[in-house]
A and B are shown apart, each in its own frame.
Chain A
Amino acid sequence: MALTEDRPSASAEIDIEERLHEAWAEPAGIAGFLTSVDHKRIGMRYIYTAFVFFFIGGIEALIMRTQLAGPNNHVLGPEQYDQLFTMHGITMIFLFNTPVLAGFGNYLLPLQLGTRDMAFPRLNAFSYWIFLLSGVFMYSSFLVGHAPDGGWFSYVPLTSRHFSPGVNLDFWGLGVMFVGISTTVGAVNFIVSAFKMRCPGMTVNRMPIFVWSMLAMAFMVIFAVPSVTLASALLESDRLFGTAFYSAAHGGSALLYQHLFWFWGHPEVYILFVPAMGMVSTIIPVFARRPLAGYLWVATSLIAIAFISFGVWVHHMFATGLPAMAMAFFAGVGLLIAVPSGVQFMSWIATMWRGRVRWTTPMLFCMGFAFIFLLGGITGVMVSVLPFDWQVHDSYFVVAHFHYVLNGAVVFPIFGALYYWLPKMTGRMLSERLGRLSFWTMAIGFNVSFFPMHILGFLGMPRRVYTYSSGLGWDGLNLLASIGGFLFGLGTALTLLNVVVSRFKGEPAGPNPWEADTLEWATTSPPPHYNFDRIPVVTSRHPLWDQPELAYAESGEEEATRAYGLTGALERQTPISTGLDAAPEQTMEIPRDTYLPLLVALGTAVIFLGLLAKAIAVGAVGVALAALALVRWAWRTEEDLR
């Protein structure tokens, strides 16, 4: 492999641009939309779709806060309230937090790794379609007036056919299995991409910290999601086919469900949170203008969180009467997980300590995140303390705690990431003034809304109640929480406005508006379909800071190096490298646009519809459609083998 600094001459450049355009062209219009396998288009689609769900889930929350603004309100009846709080949880966890992070991961991973696409571009498109269709599937429950109402956690036996005879819970049980397919294949794609798609020189210990966080997240998904799939599959089996896995009267166990659910449910908290930490650890050094302090410590602590998170699930079952000895073990592990989080805190402090902070909107969101996560982390340690949890469990204290970690400590980094990376995606800067206004509105609204809930918990207010009596000392705090909620909603709407306005009026971003260090800033904004016309070669963890002239790899004749230079881009190829040292290994063809992922996803959706309607014929159509499309997917034609 030869290195070169040469650029093609001017006349050749025009010719090459045309040929590149031809090699990477996608059909225009709706056909292009349905068939694209470009990780950037898919990533943005993930982000936009997830934000649609974010605003829907937010509106659900505001309707609930209106009901709870005063005692004995009649905005909602118990049935409506139960459906709303269930769908709010499902939406934020399954349809916003998880997919929006997958969206950033999809967009950024290949760019940060210096390659042209994800390891499995078609699988990537498939995982998006599954996410979209499963979201539509779950929301279609509102159309038939039977949205899930068993809570996002859907505990048995309340959700058994006996106590919930309607179709409501089937939307949940089937929907969770459905969306789990998307998360799982997405995780496989992230893991393989992180290990096999890195550009030359990007050894494992030079991998950007955001990629580490996505890798840790993906491993958690692979081990955790099968558990919730099993939990919901057994629930649906009990509901649809009359088995008795969870029925104590027939020798089953209601607690089995809780173990299965939380074996996924607790790591899920970190599945959402670890990529957010990766975003913060990416953004803070850029605006502190120095490398992240203790890179190896931070990368290790991300992996440590991934491991330890699998030993905390009983934490959600402290009030179920399990043996004290067993619970003490889980309480200990719950405390232990604070250590890797502490490591990251100190890394951020040390980074800023020796740097000089530029106060931009992304940086503001990271600081807001740090304070919110500090408080949410502290209350997290508190609820690990077994006896204290017996008091606050399932009270509003817990509502406060997990909104500090899952709303504050995840949504704030996501908004920071939006201000930081959207200029790369659209080529336009967002307004800083509107950004700051949005940040302060969100930060104040958030704390006004969620801090009083800690106190409500101490005052004995239970979670998931559709109303409460007056005279218990709860009225004022609930009103305050509702006001804060609307303020927070307004803050998020200001960012939405900012995003829309910037599309028309935003300043052009240029390739690297923040003077950042990672490879996504080495290409134009927005990047071309092929990301880089030549694959970069890095010699540092911070290529754009340490390498004044970024080097590019030249393509060679043999299989291992064919994809590196311009020829690789011209022939829709991208290099595959060895797992640890990123040495050249092979060349991969990037598949062309195709309807196959959409067809398999549609077939899958029809299968779930068949199960929902208990219609075998419909299910059979779905199986046939998915199977035919899969066979075609796996079939290698002459053209493919060219």
Chain B
Amino acid sequence: MTEPRARRARAALRLAGPAAGVVVLGACSRRAPSTLDPHGSAAARINGVWWLMLALAVAVFAVVGGLLLVGAFRRPRGEGDETAGGRDGPTDTTWILAGGVIIPTVILLVLAVDTVRTTRALRAAAHAGVEHVEVVGNDWWWEVRYPREGVLTANEVHIPLGRPIEIGLTTKDVIHSFWVPQLAGKLDTIPGQRNVLRFKATRTGTYRGECLQYCGLQHANMGFLVVVQSPADFATWAADNAQPPPTPSDPLVAEGEQVFTNQPCAGCHTIRGTSATGTRGPDLTHFGSRLAIGANAVPNTAANLGAWVSNSQDVKPGNLMPPIPLSGEELRAVVAYLEGQR
């Protein structure tokens, strides 16, 4: 594992300058979804732009800030005529022309060229081996569809490592914005429009994603997870998820299915292979295999699920799922049923 060490060494070299804290925190808080710890092609490319800009920024800040301080504290020669000021140093026009026009223009040209080159690279479409995912923003969760594989899920985007990914972004209601800091820049979901986000993931793992456009009460809890898998694991996952889950044999689980389909649950949620076909809320087929509940509001455990089903308003106030009045046994059955949906 020399690679992380090399990266740490590079980071140490960059410690100089006002953004030192960025590097330190970016490196040590392992769990932060940091843009400075990229594992996607687009995020890595943008990270390169950032380091170039930081270098320029530190230089500009040091030079201009230094001149401000020297200018403010030095005593000009040729005093005596106080209102006219001293007569030493560059003329006013030299200062302004060189420092205010020529040098900034050169720096900005460098940035402009880098902007255009990077933008073209990030927008370029791949032609072969593209994995297509459709993500639909909803108040306040994400529907995730794989048209080719026939998979429908929510708040969890599985993608294969190394293959070009195209995520089509649309919305059912208001504007949301899809962002996975470690993989790629963000892109909005706009009514009446389909935007396409392109990148490749460069390391397997689970990455945190968020809604970045203010979208109402639960904008703060509209997260999702991106699971980057090896192409073989991804193929297995997709094949499993394309099939309806097996019919429950355990009596508690079978009772749970009864509760689910007879109670209000089925009015909003679908579980393929059952009579639950609601479409307002997330599709819950294979729910048991998911990592989190309520758009990454809480981890997917039986206890959290029980609390969520009985009154999700305590967990995520303002979300569109009403409290479900179930008896203790019904609740246990539903939880067992949903957690068994693997």
Binding site for B on A (CB under 8 A): 77-79, 82, 151, 155, 157-158, 163, 247-249, 253-255, 288-291, 293-294, 297, 301, 319-321, 324, 327-328, 331-332, 335-336, 338-339, 342-357, 367, 370-371, 374-375, 378-379, 381-382, 384-395, 452, 454-455, 458-460, 462-468, 471-474, 477, 542, 545
**Are A338 and B181 in contact (CB-based, < 8 A)?**
no
- Count contacts on B: residues with CB < 8 A to the other chain: 99
Q: CA–CA, A517 to B211, complex, Å?
A: 54
- The answer to whether B186 has its CB under 8 Å from any CB of chain A is yes
Residues of A within 8 A of B326 (CB): none
Answer whether A346 and B96 are a contact pair too, CB < 8 Å, given A354-B88, A391-B181. yes
Measured between C-beta atoms, what is the minimum distance from A116 to chain B in Å?
Answer: 28
**Are A391 and B318 in contact (CB-based, < 8 A)?**
no
Q: Which residue of A is nearest B186, CB measured? A: A319
Apart from A393-B177, A393-B212, list 10 A-B contacts with CB within 8 A.
A155-B174, A254-B190, A319-B187, A324-B123, A328-B116, A353-B90, A393-B185, A462-B219, A472-B33, A542-B83
**Are A545 and B111 in contact (CB-based, < 8 A)?**
no
Measured between C-beta atoms, what is the minimum distance from A37 to chain B in Å?
Answer: 37
**Are A339 and B76 in contact (CB-based, < 8 A)?**
no
B47-96 residues at the A interface, CB under 8 angstroms = 49-50, 53, 57, 60-61, 64-65, 67-68, 70-76, 79, 82-90, 92-93, 95-96
**Are A356 and B213 in contact (CB-based, < 8 A)?**
no
**Are B49 and A387 in contact (CB-based, < 8 A)?**
yes
- The answer to whether B25 has its CB under 8 Å from any CB of chain A is yes
Stretch in B101-109, B150-158, B270-278 touching the partner: B101-109
Answer whether A77 and B317 are a contact pair too, CB < 8 Å, given A385-B53, A394-B177, A472-B31. yes
- The answer to whether B333 has its CB under 8 Å from any CB of chain A is no
Q: Which residue of A is nearest B116, CB measured? A: A328
Q: CA–CA, A352 to B66, complex, Å?
A: 13
Q: Which residue of A is nearest B122, CB measured? A: A387
Residues of A within 8 A of B119 (CB): 324, 327-328, 331, 386-387
Answer whether A458 and B61 are a contact pair too, CB < 8 Å, given A354-B89, A394-B186. no
**Are B192 and A385 in contact (CB-based, < 8 A)?**
no
Answer whether A349 and B174 are a contact pair too, CB < 8 Å, given A151-B214, A458-B36. no
**Are B108 and A338 in contact (CB-based, < 8 A)?**
yes
**Are B76 and A289 in contact (CB-based, < 8 A)?**
no
Q: CA–CA, A266 to B88, complex, Å?
A: 40
Q: CA–CA, A338 to B175, complex, Å?
A: 31
**Are B112 and A335 in contact (CB-based, < 8 A)?**
yes
Answer whether A248 and B82 are a contact pair too, CB < 8 Å, given A349-B67, A474-B32. no
**Are B220 and A459 in contact (CB-based, < 8 A)?**
no
Residues of B within 8 A of A350 (CB): 71, 90, 92, 95-96
Residues of A within 8 A of B32 (CB): 459-460, 472-474
Residues of A within 8 A of B22 (CB): 454-455, 458
Measured between C-beta atoms, what is the minimum distance from A470 to chain B in Å?
Answer: 10
Q: CA–CA, A248 to B192, complex, Å?
A: 5
Q: CA–CA, A385 to B104, complex, Å?
A: 15
Q: CA–CA, A370 to B68, complex, Å?
A: 8
**Are A390 and B187 in contact (CB-based, < 8 A)?**
yes
Q: Which residue of B is nearest A288, CB measured? A: B85
Q: CA–CA, A338 to B107, complex, Å?
A: 11
- The answer to whether B244 has its CB under 8 Å from any CB of chain A is no
Main secondary structure of the interface of A (DSSP, over half): helix
**Which of B42, B57, B114 has most chain A Cβ within 10 Å?**
B57
Q: Which residue of B is nearest A390, CB measured? A: B185
Cβ contact of B57, chosen from A158, A289, A382, A542, cutoff 8 A? A382
Q: Which residue of A is nearest B193, CB measured? A: A321
**Are B216 and A460 in contact (CB-based, < 8 A)?**
no
Q: Which residue of B is nearest A371, CB measured? A: B65
Answer whether A254 and B208 are a contact pair too, CB < 8 Å, given A157-B191, A346-B96, A354-B76. no
Residues of A within 8 A of B101 (CB): 339, 342-343
Measured between C-beta atoms, what is the minimum distance from A539 to chain B in Å?
Answer: 15
Q: CA–CA, A388 to B115, complex, Å?
A: 9
Q: CA–CA, A381 to B299, complex, Å?
A: 39
9 residue pairs from A and B, CB less than 8 Å apart: A342-B101, A346-B98, A349-B71, A379-B57, A391-B50, A459-B26, A460-B210, A462-B212, A474-B32
Measured between C-beta atoms, what is the minimum distance from B118 to chain A in Å?
Answer: 4
Q: Which residue of B is nearest A85, CB measured? A: B214
Would you list the 7 A-B pairs with minimal beta carbon distance, nearest first? A390-B185, A473-B29, A248-B192, A290-B85, A321-B195, A473-B32, A465-B220
**Are A391 and B46 in contact (CB-based, < 8 A)?**
yes
**Are A339 and B108 in contact (CB-based, < 8 A)?**
yes
Residues of B within 8 A of A342 (CB): 99-101, 103-104
Q: CA–CA, A368 to B190, complex, Å?
A: 41
Residues of A within 8 A of B220 (CB): 78, 462, 465-468
Q: CA–CA, A254 to B188, complex, Å?
A: 12
Quick one: CB contact mask for B314-342 with A, threshold 8 Å, 1 for yes? 00011000000000000000000000000
Measured between C-beta atoms, what is the minimum distance from A161 to chain B in Å?
Answer: 13
Measured between C-beta atoms, what is the minimum distance from B100 to chain A in Å?
Answer: 4
Measured between C-beta atoms, what is the minimum distance from B191 to chain A in Å?
Answer: 4
- The answer to whether B233 has its CB under 8 Å from any CB of chain A is no
Measured between C-beta atoms, what is the minimum distance from A172 to chain B in Å?
Answer: 14
Measured between C-beta atoms, what is the minimum distance from B323 to chain A in Å?
Answer: 17
Residues of B within 8 A of A382 (CB): 53, 57
Q: Which residue of A is nearest B84, CB measured? A: A290
Residues of A within 8 A of B186 (CB): 319, 390-391, 393-394
Q: CA–CA, A319 to B185, complex, Å?
A: 9
**Are A355 and B115 in contact (CB-based, < 8 A)?**
no
Quick one: CB contact mask for B219-238 with A, threshold 8 Å, 1 for yes? 11000000000000000000
- The answer to whether B163 has its CB under 8 Å from any CB of chain A is no
**Are B93 and A294 in contact (CB-based, < 8 A)?**
yes
Residues of B within 8 A of A297 (CB): 93, 96, 100
Q: CA–CA, A336 to B214, complex, Å?
A: 29
**Are B72 and A357 in contact (CB-based, < 8 A)?**
yes
Residues of B within 8 A of A339 (CB): 100-101, 104-105, 108
Q: Which residue of A is nearest B124, CB measured? A: A324
Cβ contact of A356, chosen from B76, B93, B195, cutoff 8 A? B76
Cβ contact of B318, chosen from A78, A319, A349, A471, cutoff 8 A? A78
Answer whether A158 and B85 are a contact pair too, CB < 8 Å, given A293-B96, A385-B114. no
- The answer to whether B19 has its CB under 8 Å from any CB of chain A is yes
Answer whether A346 and B173 are a contact pair too, CB < 8 Å, given A158-B214, A464-B214. no
Cβ contact of A289, chosen from B31, B42, B85, cutoff 8 A? B85
- The answer to whether B218 has its CB under 8 Å from any CB of chain A is yes
Quick one: CB contact mask for B12-49 with A, threshold 8 Å, 1 for yes? 00000011011001100101111110000011011001
Measured between C-beta atoms, what is the minimum distance from A345 to chain B in Å?
Answer: 6
Answer whether A345 and B191 are a contact pair too, CB < 8 Å, given A386-B119, A390-B46. no
- The answer to whether B217 has its CB under 8 Å from any CB of chain A is yes
**Are A349 and B99 in contact (CB-based, < 8 A)?**
yes
Residues of A within 8 A of B175 (CB): 155, 157-158, 254
Q: CA–CA, A542 to B184, complex, Å?
A: 55
Residues of B within 8 A of A157 (CB): 173-175, 191
Q: Which residue of A is nearest B194, CB measured? A: A321
Q: CA–CA, A459 to B179, complex, Å?
A: 12
**Are B108 and A353 in contact (CB-based, < 8 A)?**
no
- The answer to whether B291 has its CB under 8 Å from any CB of chain A is no
- The answer to whether B120 has its CB under 8 Å from any CB of chain A is yes
Q: CA–CA, A77 to B50, complex, Å?
A: 36
Residues of A within 8 A of B57 (CB): 378-379, 382
Measured between C-beta atoms, what is the minimum distance from B169 to chain A in Å?
Answer: 8
Q: CA–CA, A478 to B219, complex, Å?
A: 18
**Are B76 and A355 in contact (CB-based, < 8 A)?**
yes
Q: CA–CA, A526 to B203, complex, Å?
A: 70
Q: CA–CA, A158 to B111, complex, Å?
A: 35
Measured between C-beta atoms, what is the minimum distance from B122 to chain A in Å?
Answer: 6
Residues of A within 8 A of B73 (CB): 357
**Are A355 and B25 in contact (CB-based, < 8 A)?**
no
- The answer to whether B307 has its CB under 8 Å from any CB of chain A is no
Measured between C-beta atoms, what is the minimum distance from B209 to chain A in Å?
Answer: 9
Residues of B within 8 A of A458 (CB): 22, 25-26, 34-36, 181
